[in-house]
Amino acid sequence: MTVKPAATVHAAQCRVPRARLGIRQILPWLLLLLVLPGVVLAQDDRVSKRQKIIEAMKLMGEVYERVIYNYVDELDPREVAEAAVEGMLAELDAHSQYLPPINYEDLMLATEGEFGGLGITINIRDHYPTVISPIEGTPAYYMGIRGGDQIVEIEGESTYDFTSRDAVKLLRGPPGTKVNIAIHRPGLEEPIPFTITRDIIKVDSVPYAYMMGDIGYIRVQNFSRTTATELRTALDELKQQHMRGLILDLRFNPGGLLEAAKEVSELFLEKGKLIVFTKGRLRQQNASFYSEPKRKQTYDEIPMVVLVNGSSASASEIVAAALQDHDAALVVGTSTFGKGSVQTVFRLNEEEALKLTTAKYFTPSGRSIHRDRDRQAMEGADGDMPPDLDPEPAELEVPRHEKEQFRTDAGRVVYGGGGITPDIEIKQDFLTDFEVAVERDGALFSYAVEYANRHGDVPRDFQIDDALLAEFDEFLQQRENIDEYLEVFDLAMSDSLLTANRKFIQRGIRRELMRHAFGPEDAYKVALEADTQLHEALALFAEAESLQELLAIAAKWNAEEIARLEQEATDQQTDDLQN
């Protein structure tokens, strides 16, 4: 197809004698002359791009066909196609992914907050899928499944050396269908057969909400369609207990639905406040989201601290940033993950989908949430989910005083650079090498199950004495894999090693005994006893009665921290010059 130059088109179409044309008649044609070349060029660009796409698809098809029919070994056509897709997406950001059926199902579960199953939390312990705890009110709970039960068979198939995913794939299914399992219970010689009817299992987005003195504590573990409703219920219950302050814990929260983040933010923001906006390559990807509370009551009268860390991502960052930019809460912890990109899920068929990055998130003050990472830095992050700990070493974080500055509604300084920089930084304690090895082995859980089987469940005020510790030491040393797990860290089992880790062992045994006797929340409360980040956040309420006082503490801390960092930089420059 040949496209005539714009001037030729104009001359051919204009049949009015030139002498009779006035400025009012000429002006539209002059504008057309200016615009039409751009239109033609845009058409040329579109044609050229489409031609390139067709040629590229032809190349892919030809290579695929020759590989399938001519490679030395016979290949599975489906596997080769999936490998080609994965290779294509590997050139994009880490969050753009092909979702085969099981990954697409996982995505729907994370966002919908429910699935068809039995209602148990499992992990692999001593080669078998083992029940950590049943979820109250579910089929497994009513059938008497207990924490510590080992699932040794599913539908007659041995589960020895199953992965958790292997077990979950067989245990989940449409509500109303049945599954046959065999359980090995400590203290019994023969496995116990169970036939359990699957039901809809609701996964709590807000698993823990309780008072810590006169301060309310709420843990939000993801953002699904039920999150705002669950959070409002928790807030109302804590208000009835006269909480004077709130800690909203978003640590290790990988995010979820944008709509859920918006609804959670609306619980604390006035109507009309900007929550987040997006920018993409296509116009339809640009959008702004404002607070539109469905109820007049908000909870902005309660002084609030939002806890974040390097594994707070996506929707967690949207909420933390919105509350920070509008001076509605104090953000405390460590810088967040920086997952500030928007993914659109394109369904390929009934079971598969393509998750593609189409835009980026920006906070109300204009900060980009996104922090660029290559795919190697995201290894182990399971795609959209950040890993349990931020993969970037602390030394790669840009110092606070070097970051771009933005302003909140009240004029406070907040920082850009990807992720959300907290108002007050509180370092996070990590497990020691010994603690990692013991937790990986599952020894604390297994010992608690055996102890409860011999002695019965313990009371909430149960204390770990020296005799019990000695018994656990012997139990630990007999574990099949503990020496291997210790060797990874160049450690070897010894009395001195056990003695040096007494507090961890005591707390760990008590945590698992509480889980067995009373459930996950009691175990969680024991685990938080060693959470220094949380306890430092709680201590802020001892110094401040109001949100304004909390923000004043943060301003003072920030000024001192900037001064310290600048002094360190000056000292380093002096040392470099002297050397």
CB 307 within 8 A of CB 212: no
297-301, Cβ contacts within 8 angstroms, sequence gap of 24 or more: 298/266, 298/267, 298/268, 298/269, 298/270, 299/235, 299/239, 299/246, 299/267, 299/268, 300/268, 300/269, 300/270, 300/328
Residue 9 has pLDDT above 60, yes or no: no
Mean pLDDT of the chain: 85
Q: What is the DSSP string of 49-105?
A: HHHHHHHHHHHHHHHHHHHHHHSSS---HHHHHHHHHHHHHTTS-TT-EEE-HHHHH
- Is the predicted pLDDT of residue 376 greater than 60, yes or no? no
Given this model, what pLDDT does residue 19 score? 40
pTM of the predicted structure, to 2 decimals:
0.79
Q: Which residue has the tokens 């190349």?
A: 59
H helices present in 90-171, as ranges: 101-112, 139-142, 164-171
Whether 388 has a pLDDT exceeding 90, the answer reads no
Locate 69 and state its tokens: 């029919």
Residues 404-439 as b/e (b if ≥16 CB within 10 A, e otherwise) read eebebeeebebbbbbbbbbbbbbebeeeeebeebbe
Please tell me the predicted confidence (pLDDT) of residue 371: 87
When pLDDT is averaged across residues 111-138 and rounded to a whole number, the result is 80
* 529-534-535-540 Cα dihedral, nearest 10 degrees: -160
Q: What is the pLDDT of residues 189-216, one digit of tens each?
A: 899 999 999 988 888 899 999 999 999 9
* 206, containing H or E segment: none
Give the Cα separation of 85 and 62 in Å (integer).
15
Residues with active-site annotation: 314, 325, 339
- Give the Cα-Cα-Cα angle 557, 561, 564 (nearest 5 degrees): 140
DSSP per position, 454-490:
HH-PPPTT----HHHHHHHHHHHHT-SSHHHHHHTTT
pLDDT score of 75 more than 60: yes
Pair of tokens at residue 526: 């024991």
Of 239, 237, 212, 246, residue with least CA distance to 547? 246
Q: Which DSSP category does 161 fall into?
A: T
Write out pLDDT tens, residues 10-55: 333 333 334 444 444 444 444 444 444 554 555 666 668 888 888 8
CA distance 200 to 526: 30
Q: What is the rounded CA–CA span in Å between residue 239 and residue 452?
A: 36
Cα distances from 483 to residues 434, 471, 480, 518, in angstroms, run: 11, 18, 8, 31
Q: Each residue of 476-491: pLDDT tens digit? A: 999 999 999 999 999 9
CATH architecture of 114-202: Roll (2.30)
The mean pLDDT value for 230-242 works out to 96
Would you say 504 and 476 are in contact if contact means Cβ atoms under 8 Å apart? no
CATH architecture of 208-391+398-425: Alpha-Beta Complex (3.90)
In terms of phi and psi (left: phi > 0; alpha: psi -120 to 50; beta: otherwise), the region of 432 is: beta
Of 14-18, 111-115, 218-222, 487-491, the range with the lowest mean pLDDT is: 14-18
